[in-house]
Amino acid sequence: MELSAEVDGFRLAYDRDGEGPAVVLLHGWPGDRTDHRLLAPLLVERGCEVVVPDLRGFGESDSLSTDPKQYGVDAQAKSVVALVEELGLERPVLAGYDVGSRIAQGIARTRPDLIEGLVVAPPLPGIGKRVFSEQAQAEFWYQAFHRLPVIEELIDGNPVAVRSYLRHFWTHWSGPELDHLVEVYSAPGAFTASIQWYRAGAGSVAVSAAETAPPSYDRIAVPTVVLWPEFDPLFPRAWSDRVDDFFSDVRLRHVDGAGHYAPLEYPEILAEEIVGLG
C-alpha cells in the first residue's frame, strides 16, 4: 500500500502493480480497494499496470472533513485525477461500479483528455423518474437513511451494528464476503465517512431526480463499455435502455447470472473488456 500526495488535505491509499497500459479501478459502497482483489491480478497477467485506490473516506484513505461536499463526485474525481497525474499514468482506462462508476463518468466528462475510455457497471444515467417507483424505492431506501444524523448514533463505531447493517447489502446485492468490510467500517468514524457520498447528494436517487439528457455534442465522448448484470436488484435491465442518450461512443453488454458486485462476480468479463478497450 502507498499513499498519494495530498489533495484538499486528503491522501489516497492505493495499490500499484504490473507493467503496460494503465488501468485505474474504482470501488463502490459498501466496499474499498479490496473489491478488486480478483480483477487486478487478471489484468496484471494480461500485461497491464493496475492502480487501485481507496476513495476519499474509504479504507485506508483519509477522511478528514465533515463537509459532505468533500466526498461527492467532483471532489472524489479531483483526487483520482491528481493520482493519475502524480503517477504519470498515460491515458489509463477507468473501470468502476457503484460509487466508482459515477466517479469514472465524472472524470470522463471533465477530463476526457486524461483517459483512454471507461468500463463501467451501474449506476448509469437514464434511470430518470423510474427511481421513484414503488419497487425501486423498496431498494433505494438506504440513500435517504444515510442522510440522517441518527445513523451515526445507531451504527458508527459499533461492530455488531455495522455487521448487521452491511450484511443486508452484502447478501441482498449478492456479494460473496463480509468480514473484511465489517473490520474496516467498524472503526470510529469510518462508517460515517463512507456515507458522506450520499450526504453530498451523489447517490442514484438524488442524481436521477435532476437528470436530463444532454445535447448530442455534450455526451460523454470517450469509448465506453457498459456492463449490465442480470440480477442487480437496484438497477434492473430495463433501465439500460437510454445509455445512448448520454454517451456518444458506447457498447452495452448484458452479463447473465450476476448481481451488483461487478469485480467480485464477473472479474473475467471485466478484464476482457478492459484489455480490449486499452
192-220 pLDDT, tens digit per residue, is 999 999 998 877 777 877 788 888 888 99
CATH number, position 64: 3.40.50.1820
pLDDT tens digits for range 86-138: 999 999 999 999 999 999 999 999 999 999 999 999 999 999 889 888 888 88
Asked whether the predicted pLDDT for residue 177 surpasses 70, the reply is no
Output the pLDDT for position 187.
92
Position 175 confidence tier, pLDDT thresholds 50, 70, 90: low
CA distance 146 to 125: 22
Structural domain boundaries enclosing 133: 2-277
- Among 139-143, 148-152, 198-202, 271-275, top mean pLDDT goes to 271-275
Grid cell at residue 35: 473489491
Cβ-contact 107, 89 below 8 angstroms: no
Whole-prediction pTM? 0.93
How many domains are contained in the chain?
A: 1
Q: What is the mean pLDDT of the chain?
A: 93
Closest CA to 246 of 95, 98, 102: 102
Q: In what order do the strands lie in the sheet with 13-17?
A: 2-3, 13-17, 49-53, 22-26, 93-96, 117-120, 224-229, 250-255
Sign of the torsion formed by the C-alpha atoms of 31, 35, 8 and 1: positive
Return the pLDDT at 176.
Answer: 57
Tell me which H or E stretch contains 224: strand 224-229
Per-residue confidence (pLDDT) for residue 84, from 0 to 100: 98
Q: Residue 141 above 80 pLDDT? A: yes
What does the alpha-carbon distance between residue 220 and residue 77 come to, in Å, rounded to a whole number?
A: 15
Q: What is the mean pLDDT of residues 258-278?
A: 93
